[in-house]
């Protein structure tokens, strides 16, 4: 297999660790790539962020491959999500503490299966208030953290598949295959509401972006070895260009 030329352009699938921001991951990969190549700058971009409390597939593009970012972002995404029923949090995940509690005694596995069916197909979803959606030019999360009142408009998304993997009430584990722009945190909220309760995300792992699956991803622990084994040095790239 031909080695990758990061300066000319390459696409990498990386497994983002839990608690890392997407920005931190890009910086780490850029730093390690520059150190391996012996250069000070390398163009690196990502095709879709992941929240710090989510892990899994992130697509990074270098060099001219950054022109592919829009195309890659449009790919279908698959997630494995853990949802806790019976409460909500301001951020719809574990980043904040539960602020409202709801009954769950009436919920059965059969009710859960029926509720999930309502979300399959084209739907309108209201993004979380703690999100990067812009409101009058400002990020929603900035306004939310300052206690500002504002309303976000529902956006059209598509959920192709929504499969119940485990039901250990009040906890659910689901697999979601969805379009760009889907907020799994908001889906957790909406599933809770559909069940006459509340819901928030307790764990999220992205397992696929387009054609890139989690088993194709490089972990940060593997990055140094990957660079030495799969990436051209500047000398190797120059040699290839002259042949």
Task: List pLDDT tens digits, range 191-206.
Answer: 999 999 999 999 999 9
Per-residue pLDDT for 131 more than 60?
Answer: no
Q: What is the mean pLDDT of residues 109-124?
A: 97
Question: How much is the pLDDT for 138?
Answer: 59
What is the helix (H) or strand (E) element at residue 125, kind and residue range? strand 121-125
Catalytic positions, please?
51
Per-residue pLDDT for 237 more than 90?
Answer: no
Record the tokens describing residue 169, joined without a space.
């009430």
Residue 148 pLDDT grade (very low, low, confident, very high; cuts 50, 70, 90): low
Question: How much is the pLDDT for 7?
Answer: 94
Of 37, 73, 44, 48, give the one whose Cα is nearest residue 61.
Answer: 44
What is the helix (H) or strand (E) element at residue 85, kind and residue range? strand 77-85
Per-residue pLDDT for 241 more than 90?
Answer: no
- Model's pTM, two decimal places? 0.91
Question: How much is the pLDDT for 151?
Answer: 64
Lowest mean pLDDT among 35-39, 63-67, 132-136, 182-186: 132-136
Contact criterion met (CB below 8 Å) for 86 and 115: no
Q: What is the Cα–Cα distance from 203 to 93, expressed in whole angstroms?
A: 8
Record the tokens describing residue 73, joined without a space.
């972002």
Residue 236 pLDDT grade (very low, low, confident, very high; cuts 50, 70, 90): confident
Q: What is the Cα–Cα distance from 24 to 168, expressed in whole angstroms?
A: 34
Residue 234 pLDDT grade (very low, low, confident, very high; cuts 50, 70, 90): confident
Lowest mean pLDDT among 7-11, 116-120, 153-157: 153-157
Q: Calculate the average pLDDT of the chain.
A: 90
Residue 128 pLDDT grade (very low, low, confident, very high; cuts 50, 70, 90): confident
């Amino acid at each position: 297999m031909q080695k990758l030329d990061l300066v000319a352009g390459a696409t990498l699938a990386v497994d983002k660790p839990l608690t890392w921001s997407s920005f931190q991951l890009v910086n780490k990969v850029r730093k390690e790539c520059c150190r391996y190549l012996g250069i000070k700058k390398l163009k690196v971009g990502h095709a879709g962020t992941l929240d710090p409390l989510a892990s899994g597939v992130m697509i990074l593009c270098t060099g001219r491959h950054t022109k592919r970012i829009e195309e890659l972002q449009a790919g279908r995404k698959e997630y494995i999500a853990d949802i806790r029923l019976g409460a909500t949090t301001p951020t719809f995940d574990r980043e904040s503490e539960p602020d409202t509690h709801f009954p769950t005694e009436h919920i059965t596995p059969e009710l859960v299966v029926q509720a999930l069916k309502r979300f399959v197909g084209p739907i309108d979803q209201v993004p979380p208030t703690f999100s990067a959606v812009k409101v009058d030019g400002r990020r929603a999360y900035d306004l939310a953290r300052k206690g500002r009142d504002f309303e976000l408009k529902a956006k059209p998304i598509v959920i192709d598949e929504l499969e119940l993997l485990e039901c250990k009430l009040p906890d659910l584990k689901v697999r979601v295959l969805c379009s760009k722009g889907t907020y799994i945190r908001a889906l957790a909220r909406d599933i809770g509401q559909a069940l006459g309760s509340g819901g928030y995300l307790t764990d999220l792992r992205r397992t696929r972006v387009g054609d890139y699956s989690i088993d194709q991803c490089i972990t940060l622990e593997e990055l140094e070895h990957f660079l030495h084994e799969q990436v051209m040095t500047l000398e190797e790239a120059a040699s290839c260009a002259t042949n």
